[in-house]
Amino acid sequence: MAPTRAWLERHDAGCENGLDGLDEGVALSSKITRTLTEGQRAYEAKRAAKAGMSLERWLDSKQRQQESEARARQKAAEPPKVKKNTLFSRLMERAQKPL
């Protein structure tokens, strides 16, 4: 398990890099847990236990799923690409028309 931000602040006060080298996943999960209320944290802990995961892994997977859904919505909102009407495509259109 990676050290938490609070642990690093207490034990690595003299480090020249500070918290810049902190693993991004740990920073995200600690950020999420700080924004949850006590009741929300308990609810998510129950769901994580039911799924057989730790709370941090559960919150990380939930965050990744939300990000992938946001990317899918953004991709669906983009206008469709317009195909160029090339010589070959025009010939194929004529070949498909009845005589």
65-75 pLDDT, tens digit per residue, is: 999 999 999 98
Angle at 30 between CA 2 and CA 62, to 5 degrees: 100
pLDDT tens-place string over residues 6-57: 665 665 555 554 444 444 444 444 455 468 899 999 999 999 999 999 999 9
Burial 7-30 (b: 16+ CB within 10 A, else e): ebeeeeeeeeeeeeebeeebeebb
The pTM assigned to this predicted structure is: 0.46
Distance CA(34)–CA(8), nearest Å, equals 16
pLDDT at residue 12, as a whole number: 53
Domain range for 15: 5-96
How many domains does the chain divide into?
A: 1
pLDDT of residue 41: 92
State the pLDDT at residue 32. 52
